[in-house]
Structure 1
Amino acid sequence: MNTWRIKPLDAILATAEKKSLHRSLGAFQLTMLGIGAIIGTGIFVLTAAAAQKAGPGMMLSFIVAGFVCAVAALCYSELASMVPVSGSAYTYTYAVMGELLAWMVGWALILEYAVAASAVCVGWSGYIMGLIEHATGFALPELLSNGPAWSMNGYMPVADFSHGIVNLPAIIVAGLVTWLLVMGTSESAMVNAILVVIKVTALTAFIVLSLPLLKGENFTPLMPTGLFGHDGLGVIGAAASIFFAYVGFDAVSTAAEETKNPQRNVPIGLIGSLAICTIFYLLVAAGVIGTVGAQPLRDAAGVVLSPDSAAFAAHCKELAAAGNAPIVCSREALAEVLRINGFAQVGNLVGLAASIALPSVILMMIYGQTRIFFVMARDGLLPEKLADVHPKWKTPWKVTIFTGIFVAIAAAFFPVGQLADISNSGTLFAFFMVAIAVLVLRKTDPNRRRPFKTPLIWIVAPLAIAGTLGLYLNLPLVAKLVLPIWGAIGLVIYFGYSRSHSHVGKGLIEVHEDDSDVPPSSVPPIS
């Protein structure tokens, strides 16, 4: 049996062409689509962690992460336009490089979607509890509103439960969203549009109120942890974490089949939305740094602390008790900056905006994860029973509940920054494989119809490969270790179950006409 079983691209494309999508999107619509998809969780949640890793240098981190996203997106767009069916990077890899690598990409996408959902649950927990405390004075005990802090003892992760045992609000929101998905609740385009307006309005209000208060001295030293720091610190380390704030740009890539003149409009939509979001992020970062300062916390020896470490949590607790905790300690940084600067009510409204918008992001990420599981299960690589549909609610209840439990457990016991880093490791691997797949297909099938062709492919794709690899290598040690360990578990499952149950391995080539018009990634904003 061939180890590198390839799902025939011609069969996929033949089915897709039967349901070709109406081309109606122009450059402006694509740019707006990208902005709505990108601006989201990352900027609300990860600002404090990025400041602890890079200080004011996090502004440079946003630029680095945005550039890597841009070159990866251009590669992604070519395959998205060629293979306009569900399955995202998993489907692309299956059609180009074969089943084993496709399995590894699909397995890594679990880190992207499910773990990212957990990160958003933790981010929501910080904002909702901050909002409740400032509105009513009620605060959950610290042990029930924080998961444990994690540190490395050699190559072994060690949990410190002294500042938190379990993040109860994160479990609750994960459970509620899972229940809604099982019941069949979905969002309309109108609701999504309203939530995008809420997010953008909140960030705009923050920028307008904070920029007039900037103080130049708060920007020095610009790079207190250097360009490359240890264990995920430094400007590049922060960029590896901030990458989470940009994911969602693939919404533009997957719309290539619906775009008028994709060769012109897709790059404009991608680069335009990424450029506008980068400017937005830079202004928000400047507002945080310039108004309250963003120098990282250090221990008694002057060593910068990791934002997810027990030592960092202990130091923040001491400073909070004294009433002078810096913004790097905040779980709701943007709202807290406004409160510190005398805009308490607006700060509460920003917290409310995050609390309203983030559950919808969790919903779409858990939905997206079930979509990836579906595609893998129908290819025989996962048990097809996972895709059973509930007789009453007509939803894939088994895989949804399974995903929800996974999301809730991760959200309960890990901090948001660590979850975002772990999620990034899976995302970076998927985009790394997509960039390679584009080059492979240019060599092996140069005459294939490409509605969108990546410009300067032999420059852009290697930049994407180097950029995604470089960011991965600058993630904290825990996040770097998770990917190979998770991959090893995946290989055991593949050779123990999936390989022998594969439909392609059995000679069954299914292309599923019922969803040939579904975009390659049905997941809206996850950033």
Structure 2
Amino acid sequence: MIFDRVKPLDAILATAQRKSLHRSLSGLQLMLFGIGCIIGTGIFVLTAAGAQKAGPGLMLAFVIAGAVCIVAALCYAEVAAMIPVAGSAYTYSYASMGEFLAWTVGWALILEYAVAASAVSVGWSGYFSGTILQEFFGITLPPWLAAGPLSLGGAPGGFINLPALVIALLVTWLLMIGTSESAKVNAVLVAIKVAALTAFIALTLTSPEFDAERFNPFLPAGFGGSFGSGLGAVGAAATIFFAYVGFDAVSTAAEETKDPQKNVPFGLIGSLLFCTVFYILVAAGAIGTIGGQPIMGPDGIPFPAGSEELARQCAMPQYAAALVCSDEALAHVLRQIGFSGIGNMLGIAAFLALPSVILVLIFAQTRIFFVMSRDGLLPERLSAVHPRWKTPHIVTMMTGLVVAIGAAFFPVGLLADYANAGTLYAFFMVAVTVMVLRRKDPARHRPFRMMGVWIVAPLTLAGCLYLYLNLPWQAIAVLPAWGLIGVLIYLGYSRRRSHLGRGIVEVVDDVAGEETMVPIHPPAQGS
């Protein structure tokens, strides 16, 4: 039976209990931590792509995506507080639904982390090329070095996005040699991001250029487009869902929170609501000052974001100032309304802050690979630690190369949609995990026990599925295609080499460096 292997939860929790992390975070601290984790790439990078899909309806898209994130976050919080160990949704699935489904989650997380890191790298490239090189040094990169090929939705004449390739490789090198970001530096970067966006909101909403007529029509592509079109408010929500990724880090902090039953929902919902309002105000400021109507095709339907057709339109003089054509949307808006200096400062804020996001995403991806390798599902060579650097250098190098290649040749909108497909699947499975564990192990101690689980978890399933089906058809197709490759690898390699299948459970504590070895009866021959 392919669903017969479930990792004993007792072994995982035995390791988690030895961590004994001190509960010190209040609800307000958890909320502030969440705001710092969530505000980042999406709002700096995807505003233009979201506006091309929904126009002024981008504001509604933020509400839809935020609502799905709130119910998903509550599911995530219960499981993360209950099973506070490395591996994220992969480990949760292994302990509840078994090895095969856990493998599919771990495989999908590659889309969440590695592809997301590529998307952030492309976003960083836009601010580097537009603000640092062009505004400060008067250097304009030739089109063939500034974007991926035209066939993949890049700018006309694009061949390779060199800045995106370089930043991905640089961050990978830093991770390989063991350089980690300082908590103090990260706090400064968070403050810079929030200050820059606050200034953007204040300047745009009070600008004489602000005109409410620019919001009409509010939904030029409708509420939701047809299946696989990725258009309308729901299609935009499926894309800018990327702007909320990071709240799962808040969920994993549940084990360090005082009175988690009260403070976890306060921190999660508070941070998501704050970010949603913040995002709506940013979108309103951008659209109200320079407009955000999509560029329509001859059939009255917006050109797909990141498409060859849109790239051709954006190369025309009449669209040079359009929000939907900018690679550095927020800085571009401020320049258009006469605040070039502050716009450049916002560009610098993105330039400084986004590499730390790339670092966190690649780090998270390597740790998922690391745990899967330690379980025997991937070659154990991948979990080798460099004798000098003390990092999993092989898996870090492989991950970084994949990230760099994606960043070099694909547009940011398409990469974000691919990443969202993997993320939505992982969140879907976390909601399933919550319900399975409630049925299988109702008496287990839960530091945070979600109220109304049989309402919230199904809402999470429905919300994730709804957003997934409103992604562009390429992103919808990439998840099953990627999953099929993963299933073939699992059946051809991973299943017969699995430690659990050979009768050994090994749980590695990523904080204390301890491991638990639990012998179990090996499965019958041929299973």
TM-score (norm 2): 0.94
Report which stretch shifted further, 237-246 or 299-308: 299-308
- Map 1:281-430 onto structure 2 (within 5 A): 281-319=279-317, 322=318, 324-430=320-426
Please name the residue that 2:148 is paired with. Answer: 147
Aligned to 1:265: 263
Return the letter of the residue paired with 1:316: C
Corresponding residue of 2:237: 239
Q: Assess if the C-alpha contact under 8 Å between 1:207 and 1:284 holds in 2.
A: yes
Q: Displacement of 1:513 after TM fit?
A: 3.9
C-alpha distance in structure 2 between counterparts of 1:389 and 1:209, whole Å: 49
- Give the C-alpha shift of residue 300 in structure 1: 3.6
Matched, 1:504 2:505: no
1:424-446 deviation line (CA, Å, top 9, x unaligned): 00000000000011111111111
What CA distance in whole angstroms lies between the structure 2 residues aligned with 1:168 and 1:324?
A: 23
Is 2:472 the partner of 1:471? no
Change (3 A) 1:114 1:423: same
CA distance in 2, matches of 1:222, 1:330: 21
Asked whether the equivalents of residues 163 and 313 of structure 1 are also in contact (C-alpha less than 8 Å), the reply is no
Q: What pairs with 1:417-496 in structure 2 (closer than 5 Å)?
A: 417-496=413-492
Q: Find the aligned partners of 2:458 and 2:369 in 1 and give their Cα distance.
A: 30
CA shift for structure 1 position 61: 0.2
Asked if the contact 2:147/2:154 (under 8 Å) is kept, the reply is no
Cα distance in 1 for partners of 2:438, 2:505 equals 24
Whichever residue aligns with residue 285 of structure 1, its letter is A
Pairwise mapping of residues 168-317 of structure 1 onto structure 2 (< 5 A)?
168-213=162-207, 214-230=210-226, 231-317=229-315
Hey, what's the Cα distance between the residues in 2 that align with 1:161 and 1:42? 20
Is contact 2:104-2:483 (8 Å) kept?
yes
Bigger shift: residues 323-332 or 368-377 = 323-332
In structure 2, what is the equivalent of residue 136 of structure 1? 137
Counterpart residue type for residue 146 of structure 1:
A
Q: State the 1:165 CA deviation.
A: 1.2
1:320-376 C-alpha deviation (Å, 9 max, x unpaired): xx5743110000000000000000000000000000000111011111110000000
> Which whole-Å CA distance do the structure 2 matches of 1:466 and 1:49 have between them?
24
| Deviates most, 479-488 or 296-305 | 296-305
Aligned partner letter, 1:432: F
CA change 1:517–1:294 in 2 (3 A) is farther
Deviations 1:69-92 (A, max 9, x none): 000000000100110100000000
Which residue does 1:94 correspond to in 2? 94
CA distance in 2, matches of 1:480, 1:247: 19
Normalised by the length of structure 1, the TM-score is 0.94
**1:110-132 CA-partner distances (Å, limit 9, x unpaired):** 00000000000000000010011
Cα distance in 1 for partners of 2:154, 2:112 equals: 26
Report deviation, 1:141.
Answer: 0.7
**Cα distance change, pair 226–105 in 1 and its aligned pair in 2 (3 A):** same
Specify whether residues 163 and 3 from structure 1 end up closer, same or farther in structure 2 by C-alpha distance, changes over 3 A only. same
For residues 160 and 267 of structure 1, the distance between their equivalents in structure 2, rounded to whole angstroms, comes to 41
> Structure 1 regions of 5+ residues with no counterpart?
152-158, 519-527
Question: Which one-letter code corresponds to 1:247 in the other structure?
Answer: V
State how far apart, in whole Å, the 2-side matches of 1:517 and 1:438 are. 28
Which residue is equivalent to 2:30? Answer: 30
**Amino acid across the alignment from 2:38:** I
Tell which deviates more after alignment, 389-398 or 420-429.
389-398
State how 1:13-52 maps to structure 2 within 5 Å.
13-52=13-52
Q: C-alpha deviations, 1:212-251, integer Å up to 9, x for none?
A: 1221101110000001114101000000001000011112
The amino acid across from 1:275 in the alignment is L
Cα offset, 1:514, TM superposition:
5.1
Query: Root-mean-square deviation (CA), in Å?
Result: 1.5
Which runs of 5 or more residues in structure 2 are unaligned?
515-527
Q: How far apart are residue 149 of structure 1 and its match?
A: 4.0
The range that moved more, 203-212 or 14-23, is: 14-23
